[in-house]
Amino acid sequence: MARTSSSRGADRTGLYEEVTAQIVAELEAGTVPWVQPWSDAAVPLALPANAVTGRRYYGINVLLLWIAALDRGFRTQRWLTFRQALAVGGAVRRAERGTTIFYAARFTPGGADETDDNDRAARGIPFLKRFTVFNADQCEGLAEQCDATREHLPDDLIIEDAEALLAASGVDFQISGTHEAFYSPDLDLIMVPPRHAFDDPIDSYRTLLHELTHATGHPTRLARDLSHPFGSEGYAREELVAELGAAFLCAALGIVPTVRHAAYIADWLAVLRGDERAIFRAASAGSAAAEWLLARRDVMVEQLRADEEREAA
């Protein structure tokens, strides 16, 4: 029997509610899913990636895979499907339980006047589909590159990488005369305290990455709405985007993420309880910000490397 559009809609709503309930439960228990006790965990600090393609997972799937890896003590951030394991000559061990993640896309009904791509995108129906992945720790016989784990970088290399990302962003920074850090959308400027104002030098980078995520919302970059007044729901939503984006960037750089604005947790809970899609939107926006910045860093690093090779030749 064909499934009706209403039943498909109910399935989608159920998936959003299911994931939101999981994130809310973590927050209510005092655990921030994007800030876990990495130093006590077997799993290395990194963004989860597909073991076969090497592509990083995105949005809400980052949080779900982090939660699974930390809760179950996996030793790698590499994941793959059952079929992918077989395709590379390996196999998922018997009785292993997979982790559910989600694929979001838009379905555009066929038919009348589909000549305008923008119009088709606007009329597309969003859908959410679940699928199952397994950690490389749950498999056997995988090729060595599929089970690769990232080595922990020394602090000097972490700082060098962070500085490269900050430089590649193109965002202006100024030292403030106070101990406050903030991003001004009107001036497109990040104000930060001097480095010596931080108890731990690496905290300055955690703070900068938070404010830099805000800066990606500028109209010349990813164009998020940054006009919400302090204390509003929209302000809390943007703070959640910045927290997630900073956590994703920290993980990519090898910096243990922390909660910059713990006072907002109650506000985030209120947002998530009132909108089962809010965490999906925030995680997607946080991932988009992180990927935008990492891509610019990669381009700059490649250009510098090419320049060095030309000079050496």
Where in the chain are the domains? 5-147, 155-312
Return the pLDDT at 7. Answer: 42
Position 302 pLDDT exceeds 50 = yes
Position 104 pLDDT exceeds 90 = no
Confidence of residue 162 (pLDDT cuts 50, 70, 90): very high
Confidence of residue 10 (pLDDT cuts 50, 70, 90): very low
Q: How far apart are the first and last CA of the chain?
A: 68
Position 12 pLDDT exceeds 60 = no
What's the chain's average pLDDT? 87
Q: Is 105 helix (H, G, I), strand (E, B) or coil?
A: strand
Return the pLDDT at 109. Answer: 67
Return the pLDDT at 145. Answer: 74
DSSP percent split of the chain into helix, strand, coil, nearest 5 = 50, 15, 35
Return the pLDDT at 195. Answer: 85
Return the pLDDT at 31. Answer: 85
Confidence of residue 111 (pLDDT cuts 50, 70, 90): low
Alpha-carbon distance of 229 to 282, in angstroms, equals 18
% pLDDT > 90, the chain: 61
Q: Which of 32-46, 181-195, 294-308 has the lowest mean pLDDT?
A: 32-46
Who wins on pLDDT, 149 or 252?
252
% pLDDT > 70, the chain: 87
Who wins on pLDDT, 14 or 241?
241
Return the pLDDT at 105. Answer: 67
Position 125 pLDDT exceeds 90 = no
The mean pLDDT of 112-129, rounded to a whole number, is 58
Confidence of residue 161 (pLDDT cuts 50, 70, 90): very high
Alpha-carbon distance of 75 to 68, in angstroms, equals 11
Alpha-carbon distance of 162 to 192, in angstroms, equals 15
Alpha-carbon distance of 113 to 119, in angstroms, equals 9
Q: With b meaning 16 or more CB within 10 Å and e meaning fewer, what string describes 203-234?
A: ebbbbbbbbbbbbbbeeebbebebeeeeeeee
Return the pLDDT at 307. Answer: 83
Confidence of residue 261 (pLDDT cuts 50, 70, 90): confident
pLDDT tens for 186-209 read 999 999 998 888 888 889 999 999
The mean pLDDT of 30-48, rounded to a whole number, is 83
pTM, two decimals, is 0.87
pLDDT tens for 44-85 read 889 999 999 999 999 999 999 999 999 999 999 999 999 999
Alpha-carbon distance of 51 to 29, in angstroms, equals 31
Return the pLDDT at 37. Answer: 72
62 Cβ contact partners less than 8 Å away, ≥ 6 residues apart: 34, 47, 48, 56, 248, 283, 287
